[in-house]
Amino acid sequence: MTAPLLELRDLRKHFPLRDAIGRRRGAVRAVDGVSLAVPRGTVLAIVGESGCGKSTLGRLALRLIEPDAGSVLFEGEDLRALSPAALRARRRDMQLIFQDPFASLDPRMTVGAAIAEPLRLHRITPRAGEAARVAELLERVGLRPEAARRWPHEFSGGQRQRIAIARALASGPRLVIGDEPVSALDVSVQAQVVNLLADLIRDLGLTFVLISHDLGVVRHIADRVAVMYLGSLVEEGPADALFAAPRHPYTRALLAAVPGRGIKAPPIEGDVPSPIAPPAGCRFHTRCPHAEAICRTEPPALTGGAHLAACHLQDRLPPAPPLREAEPGGDRLRRLQSFFQPAGSDA
Amino acid sequence: MVLELRDLAITFRTDRGPLRAVDGVSLAVEAGRTLAIVGESGCGKSVTALATMGLLPPNARLSGSIRLRGREMATLAQPEWRRRRGREIAMIFQEPMTSLNPAFTAGEQVAEVLRLHERLGERAAFDRAVALLDRVRIPDAARRARQYPHQLSGGMRQRVMIAMALACRPRLLIADEPTTALDVTVQAQILALLDELKRETGTAVVLITHDLGVVADHADDVVVMYAGRVAERAPAARLFARPEHPYTVGLLGAAPRIEGGPTRLASIEGTVPDLLHPPEGCRFAPRCPFRGADCTRQPPLSEVEPGHATACWRAPLDRVLAA
């Protein structure tokens, strides 16, 4: 196996809390010792509910914020060891796509200028070739080249997210991190953008980190999945194995809570505890239906080969509810849906 | 019938001309049942709910009929409507933080509703409020009742909203995307709570959502809306077993599912029409793979099986597959 493109080693980030006169009063333990590796050309999804630390982890991976401890290796090189100039040069290899395309595009810049900005910043394309490169990027994301002369407000949410993707691709990055890139979109538009991302990942050989709370979206594009709870990884493994046979009770609860599976009883009760004072032992024990004495005192280690879980009881849990094989609409619905593929797409 | 809408149309006066947000919607909800209204942004599902509540803004004009337990509401002036509606309809919204008053505790806000509707004294109202908070499964309700909205989690705030709705003992509960802002494990808890309260109180529920998975697990009947009109109306089980509108077919295929595997999603090309300049005839036609020359005329909503109606000239869609 080749060296991973991105490797996170024991990353930690606590955000200090201060009272009204500036004295330290504890800290939000956003990321608390996370290690992950992303092989070249693969898609890793980081999933979890709000406050689990997934977005903080994404920003640490790009060194947009500084970790308290741990290291980030890009092609084996520690990003924290780079000089500011060397880090700036590295930035063309790593890009971020945000959830809200309304906030991530400058309203005073034409679409063409927004996409050309990274080309100029990193001196990638000579000025003479810039317009052609912008046109090529727009077509790549399914927009017409004429869009370059227009302004962000003239576009719908889905089109703006396509523009944000074109801008992220402009510098020819090898790693793209998408932080909830399709969460703000309506279902029909979301499907278009999910399909586009899948095409781009395949055609450009991108390494992609998808940060998402939507397990359906994750299922459609991820090769591997990492599940976070209160700043720690609870499970990580190949997507097929993790969806078919989740090994951590929290992963099982997340999957059982996805609407549309015919499971009407809520899988777990209560809210996520505060990341300021996470529970001792296994952080999930306060909500876990299987918890035993050891879970309240001993933090479980992440164990297993290619499919890891941090649970003392992982080998003794009852089987998880099976995924439903067939959709109620069956073959008739599948045949009708086959008409909903754009002409020229290689489905 | 608890609620019956017939040929409801709502037009907003805007700077750019009249905008018809809802165009000829008919639906009905019985006691003890959940009707889901499903559709994407701008389809008219929330405006339909606001109209039912008598909460339309002044620039809206309404026609058609809104019958609440047989009484016509649409002809009343809005203040009169709100007074008559009284305790009969309650509504919960997507973001409870904006509907709760940040200056009062959770218990005070529930108690306020009880004092208005049940004419209870201050002390009795607060005690009943605590009991209601306990009923919606807020742990340690007596302590939480003395906390302010910002001290509660999103899930707990939504439970407070549900307790306020229950305090009115409504015949109809309208829930507009009640779990969209919540995490998935908390969403499951809130939807199960709404199911349980419907069973116990026999209230009718209108559940407005964009999520077909929520519809599958929690609705008895479904109305699919597109660009202000009803595309399809069916018992929930029939909608999933045999969708008869091309938009429903596309929507079912576009929603990413955890059972799906790494497959391609169905793609409904293009975007929803501009309601200031809607297309002639069927509004879905410009995006429909089955469109033909006849689609420039508006298709009526007609039954394909008992209780299951669709507005499509191609229905039943098996003909498309046979062709």
Tell me which amino acid residue B28 is: A
Better-predicted residue by pLDDT, B44 or A328: B44
Provide the domain count of chain B: 2
Nearest beta carbon to residue B153 from set A215, A268, A271: A271
pLDDT of residue B86: 66
Q: Is residue A38 part of a domain?
A: yes
SS3 at position B317 = coil
Q: Is residue A191 part of a domain?
A: yes
- Please give, rounded to a whole number of angstroms, the shortest distance from the CA of B121 to a CA of chain A: 32
Residues in chain B: 323
B296 lies in the same domain as B309: yes
B176 lies in the same domain as B165: no
Tokens describing residue A217? 């979206």
Q: Tell me the C-alpha distance between B153 and B185, whole Å.
A: 13
Range of the domain at A291: 238-260+270-309
A55 lies in the same domain as A113: yes
A167 lies in the same domain as A248: no
* Partners of residue A239 in chain B, C-beta under 8 Å: 262
- Please give, rounded to a whole number of angstroms, the shortest distance from the CA of B232 to a CA of chain A: 16
Distances (CA, A) of A248 to A263, A284, B90: 18, 10, 40
Judge contact between B254 and B266, C-beta under 8 A.
Answer: yes
State which residue of chain A sits closest to B41, comparing Cα positions. Answer: A186
User: What is the value of ipTM here, to two decimals?
Assistant: 0.90
B301 lies in the same domain as B253: yes
Nearest beta carbon to residue A336 from set B156, B269, B317: B317
B236 lies in the same domain as B289: yes
Q: Do A195 and B267 touch (CB under 8 A)?
A: yes
A191 lies in the same domain as A242: no
- Please give, rounded to a whole number of angstroms, the shortest distance from the CA of B262 to a CA of chain A: 4
Q: Do A189 and B192 touch (CB under 8 A)?
A: no
For B284-310, the pLDDT digits (tens) are 999 999 999 999 999 999 999 999 999
Q: Is residue B262 part of a domain?
A: no
A215 lies in the same domain as A71: yes
Q: Is residue A334 part of a domain?
A: no
User: Lowest mean pLDDT: which of A29-33, A101-105, B103-107, B141-145?
Assistant: A101-105
A149 lies in the same domain as A40: yes
pLDDT of residue A289: 94
Last residue of a domain, one of B153, B169, B185: B169
Q: Do B40 and A328 touch (CB under 8 A)?
A: no
Judge contact between A119 and A135, C-beta under 8 A.
Answer: no
pLDDT of residue B131: 95
Q: Do B256 and A216 touch (CB under 8 A)?
A: yes
Distances (CA, A) of A338 to A325, A341, B211, B249, B264: 19, 6, 22, 10, 10
A141 lies in the same domain as A103: yes
Q: Residues with Cβ < 8 Å from A172, sequence gap 6 or more?
A: A92, A124
For B248-270, the pLDDT digits (tens) are 999 999 999 998 777 889 999 88
B207 lies in the same domain as B163: no
pLDDT of residue A58: 95
For residues B146-174, average pLDDT: 93
Q: Is residue A329 part of a domain?
A: no
Tokens describing residue B90? 């309650």
B224 lies in the same domain as B194: yes
Q: Residues with Cβ < 8 Å from B251, sequence gap 6 or more?
A: A187, A188, B38, B212, B224, B268
Judge contact between A247 and A235, C-beta under 8 A.
Answer: yes
Mutate to test the interface with A, among B38, B259, B275 (most CBs of A within 10 A): B259
* Partners of residue B268 in chain A, C-beta under 8 Å: 188, 191-192, 340
pLDDT of residue A2: 67
pLDDT of residue A346: 40
SS3 at position B58 = coil
Region for residue B54 given its phi and psi (left: phi exceeds 0; alpha: psi -120 to 50; beta: otherwise): left
Q: Is residue B237 part of a domain?
A: yes
B81 lies in the same domain as B106: no
Q: Do B266 and A332 touch (CB under 8 A)?
A: no
B184 lies in the same domain as B155: no
Q: Residues with Cβ < 8 Å from A189, sequence gap 6 or more?
A: A156, A157, A158, B40, B271
DSSP B273: P
Q: Tell me the C-alpha distance between A292 and A33, whole Å.
A: 24
Q: Is residue A140 part of a domain?
A: yes
Q: Is residue B93 part of a domain?
A: no
Last residue of a domain, one of B146, B169, B192: B169
Mutate to test the interface with A, among B183, B252, B265 (most CBs of A within 10 A): B265
pLDDT of residue A345: 45
B164 lies in the same domain as B176: no
pLDDT of residue A342: 66
B147 lies in the same domain as B187: no
Judge contact between A231 and A12, C-beta under 8 A.
Answer: no
Q: Is the pLDDT of residue B116 over 70?
A: yes
CA angle (B218, A271, A25) in 5-degree steps: 155
Mutate to test the interface with B, among A214, A251, A336, A337 (most CBs of B within 10 A): A336
pLDDT of residue A231: 96
A99 lies in the same domain as A201: yes
Tell how far CA A53 is from the center of its chain. 11
Query: Could you tell me the pLDDT band of residue B87, with boundaries at 50, 70 and 90?
Result: confident
One digit per residue, the tens of pLDDT, for chain A of length 347 reads 567 999 999 999 999 998 888 888 889 999 999 999 999 999 999 999 988 999 999 999 999 999 999 999 999 999 988 998 898 889 999 999 988 877 778 999 999 999 999 999 888 888 888 999 999 999 999 999 999 999 999 998 899 999 999 999 999 999 999 999 999 899 999 999 999 999 999 999 999 999 999 999 999 999 999 999 999 999 999 999 999 999 999 999 999 999 998 888 899 998 899 889 999 999 999 999 999 999 999 999 999 989 999 999 999 999 888 887 667 888 999 999 999 986 544 43
Q: Is residue B134 part of a domain?
A: yes
* Partners of residue A335 in chain B, C-beta under 8 Å: 321
Q: Is residue A193 part of a domain?
A: yes
Q: Is residue A206 part of a domain?
A: yes
A124 lies in the same domain as A254: no
- Please give, rounded to a whole number of angstroms, the shortest distance from the CA of A214 to a CA of chain B: 9
* Partners of residue A156 in chain B, C-beta under 8 Å: 271
The 3 state secondary structure assigned to chain A is: CCCCCEEEEEEEEEEEEECCCCCEEEEEEEEEEEEEEECCCCEEEEECCCCCCHHHHHHHHCCCCCCCEEEEEECCEEHHHCCHHHHHHHHHHEEEECCCHHHHCCCCCCHHHHHHHHHHHCCCCCHHHHHHHHHHHHHHCCCCHHHHHCCHHHCCHHHHHHHHHHHHHCCCCCEEEEECCCCCCCHHHHHHHHHHHHHHHHHHCCEEEEEECCHHHHHHHCCEEEEEECCEEEEEEEHHHHHHCCCCHHHHHHHHHCCCCCCCCCCCCCCCCCCCCCCCCCCCCCCCCCCCHHHHHCCCCCECCCCEECCCCCCCCCCCCCCCCCCCCHHHHHHHHCCCCCCCCCC
Range of the domain at B152: 98-169
A203 lies in the same domain as A245: no
Q: Is residue B229 part of a domain?
A: yes
For residues B125-144, average pLDDT: 94
Residue A173's CATH number: 3.40.50.300
For B52-83, the pLDDT digits (tens) are 988 899 999 999 999 999 999 988 887 778 77
Provide the domain count of chain A: 2
Q: Do B256 and A214 touch (CB under 8 A)?
A: yes
State which residue of chain B sits closest to A259, comparing Cα positions. Answer: B213
Q: Do A266 and B155 touch (CB under 8 A)?
A: no
Q: Is residue A340 part of a domain?
A: no
* Partners of residue B185 in chain A, C-beta under 8 Å: 49, 253-254, 257, 266-268
Question: Whole-model pTM?
Answer: 0.93
Q: Is the pLDDT of residue B282 over 70?
A: yes
A140 lies in the same domain as A176: yes
Q: Tell me the C-alpha distance between A258 and A46, whole Å.
A: 16
Last residue of a domain, one of B154, B169, B184: B169
Helical H segments across chain B, by residue range: 45-53, 78-85, 96-99, 106-118, 122-135, 141-144, 154-167, 184-201, 212-218, 236-241, 246-254, 318-322
Residue B306's CATH number: 3.40.50.300
B282 lies in the same domain as B145: no
Tell me which amino acid residue A91 is: R
* Partners of residue B41 in chain A, C-beta under 8 Å: 186
A155 lies in the same domain as A291: no
Nearest beta carbon to residue B241 from set A254, A268, A328: A328
pLDDT of residue A99: 86
A202 lies in the same domain as A101: yes
Q: Tell me the C-alpha distance between A329 and B257, whole Å.
A: 14
Q: Report the percent of chain B where pLDDT is more than 70.
A: 100
B245 lies in the same domain as B175: yes
